[in-house]
Amino acid sequence: MRNFLIAGNWKMNCGISATTELLNGIKEITTSLPKGVDGLVCPPSISLHAAANVLQGIEGLSLGAQNVHFEDNGAYTGEISTQMLNEIGCEYVILGHSERREYFGETDKIVNAKVLKSLDDDLKIVICVGESLKERKADEHKLRVRKQIQAALTAVEEKDAAKVVIAYEPIWAIGTGETATPDQAQEMHKMIRSVLEGVFSQKKAEKIRILYGGSMKPHNAEELLQQPDVDGGLIGGASLKADSFTEIIDIADQLSS
């Protein structure tokens, strides 16, 4: 019922030539993603234009940005706007990644402003949420994630539910090689869906994709994607190689058919 979404967050990797090379590598493996899987790549903003050109030759693989500002334009040195993303051909934007929250001071309030602006300008959004190791050890992980989602979705209208994707990314699993167990992931994803049911109607919440992120690789993707509320992955390291990224897409395809 929910198509898998396999999304690559390239972070601060791949300038224009590396972006073209990586996407051409994917194109050599496949020019059309399987029907049951939607793909997404999110290169750095400087490489979005080059990526858009190559992506024209890969059906089912969309383009996304890693961040956006909440104002239309003006004196915001170093920032990019939703309209710029629209113009370049971005369909998605990642918002509230833990690295943005930790290194760039993004608060729940800022994330919410970016959510509202992006939806207004017709971008699909991948809202990242997740707890620290300290919060998990203190058994505060569910509360933390619930609050992040409620804050991010404040004032979001029911009509925009279809443009929302949530990525559950335990901070202790990002780039560490450690993953949540399938049971831990399912437990959180189920809780996230119940939070979404409090924000939107149950029917809409059922359709929202909840991705798992945190050291997802070809060797652990199957057990995570098998969980009933895990609808895809937000993938960092393993999305930087054409073969590992397409391998995860193939695993999702096998599970969807």
Q: Is 213 in the site for ligand PEP (CB under 6 A)?
A: yes
Q: Is 174 in the site for ligand PEP (CB under 6 A)?
A: yes
Specify the DSSP element, H or E, that contains 212: strand 209-213
Instruction: Map tokens 């925009």 to a residue.
Output: 160
Instruction: Calculate the CA 180 to chain-centre distance.
Output: 17
Show the tokens assigned to 141: 């992980």
Nearer to ligand PEP, 34 or 170 (CB): 170
**Contact indicator for 207, 163 with CB cutoff of 8 Å:** no
Integer Cα distance of 215 and 26 in angstroms: 20
Q: Is 178 in the site for ligand PEP (CB under 6 A)?
A: no
- Per CB under 6 A, which of residues 67..86 are in contact with ligand PEP? none
Candidates 256, 138, 233; CA nearest to 180 is: 233
Integer Cα distance of 35 and 183 in angstroms: 27
- Distance in Å, CB of 217 to ligand PEP, minimum: 8
- By the 10 Å C-beta count (0-12 exposed, 13-18 middle, 19+ buried), 134 is classed as exposed
- Per CB under 6 A, which of residues 154..173 are in contact with ligand PEP? 169
Q: Which candidate in 131, 141, 169, 189 is catalytic?
A: 169
Q: Is 235 in the site for ligand PEP (CB under 6 A)?
A: yes
Would you call 49 a catalytic residue per the annotation?
Answer: no
Nearer to ligand PEP, 81 or 236 (CB): 236
- Distance in Å, CB of 196 to ligand PEP, minimum: 20
**Contact indicator for 188, 168 with CB cutoff of 8 Å:** yes
Q: Which of 214, 224, 230, 231 binds ligand PEP (CB under 6 A)?
A: 214
Nearer to ligand PEP, 34 or 213 (CB): 213
Instruction: Map tokens 């707890």 to a residue.
Output: 131
- Per CB under 6 A, which of residues 8..37 are in contact with ligand PEP? 9
Contact residues for ligand PEP, defined by CB under 6 A: 9, 169, 174-175, 213-216, 234-238
The residues carrying an active-site annotation are: 97, 169
